[in-house]
Amino acid sequence: MSNTNTFGPAGLNLHRFANPGRFLRLSGAVLPWLAVSGVVITAIGLGWGLFLAPADWQQGDAVRIMYVHVPAAWLASLGYVMLACASLASLVWRHPLADLAAAEIGPVGAGITAICLATGSLWGKPMWGAWWVWDARMTSVLVLFFLYLGHIALVRAFDDQQRGYRAAAILALVGVVNLPIIKFSVEWWNTLHQPASITLSGAPSMAPALLWPLLVSAIGFNLGFAAVVVARLRAAVMERRIRALLLARARNDLQNA
């Protein structure tokens, strides 16, 4: 009989990492490395893009906004995938760490999506002559932002926290339908937004001098995002422990009174 559990074969036993105590120990060791590498790699990517990468022949220096806008856009979608995975784990396995992870990813994802929208607007004004247009890509990213806000609101909307987590998890899973719309919006509809310059299936249509700082910046953004989410999750796990200890202490006091 093969040795498997709910999270896969024994060699990939992810469930044991979801134990809150083990998570605190592991994350305590990993977090400083994540944070330092996130800051250093992001600084290298942004410095490279801002000072060393060439200006675009059409857009001039405004193309440098790409080094914050595109990593934020990729991360906004990736963060939502993580939110949906945590929500699925919460609904299917009812694991308390999955609830907390989803609750902590939501605000950070909303922040990143806000950066994506704001920097897109700051890029659009000099290039298109408008801060905002209701084209398919921008509107679908705005919907993603509202999905994040809806998730944050639902987590906090119920007196019974478990009901809040469950309702928010359902919203997060329903909202996954928006991700392919964001990805393919520039192909399905006629939009002002340019099509993807980097795809998994083909060679990038961007000069390497522009592409490399973008990729470095994107790696840095991802590491920074992971560091902030892990730090928030550590705090949330400890806060839950504090509430449990205070509750136990109050029960003891009540029994002794």
Interface residue list for other proteins (CB under 8 A):
19-22, 24-25, 28, 35, 46, 50, 60-62, 64-65, 68-69, 72, 107-108, 111, 114-115, 118-119, 122-123, 125-126, 224, 227-228, 231-232, 234-235, 237-239, 241-242, 245-246, 249
- Nearest approach in angstroms of CB 189 to other proteins is 26
Our CB check for other proteins shows the closer of 47 and 167 to be 47
- Tell me which residue has tokens 């801002």: 50
CB 88 within 8 A of CB 62: no
Element (H, E) at 181: helix 178-188
- 56 vs 135, which CB is nearer to other proteins? 56
Helix (H) or strand (E) holding 166: helix 161-174
CA–CA distance, 61 with 46 (Å, rounded to integer):
14
Minimum distance from residue 118 beta carbon to other proteins (Å) = 6
**Does an H or E element contain 42, and which?**
helix 20-47
- Tokens matching residue 88: 């699925």
Alpha helices in 58-160 (DSSP H): 66-93, 96-128, 136-155
Nearer to other proteins, 39 or 173 (CB): 39
| Cβ distance to other proteins smaller for residue 35 or 171 | 35
Cβ of residue 184: shortest distance to other proteins, in angstroms?
26
Q: Give whichever of 107 and 176 is closer to other proteins, judged by the CB atom.
A: 107
Min. distance of Cβ 170 from other proteins in angstroms? 26
**Phi then psi for 226, rounded to 5 degrees?**
-60, -40
The helix (run of H) or strand (run of E) holding residue 8 is strand 8-9
Rounded least distance, CB 229 to other proteins, Å = 8
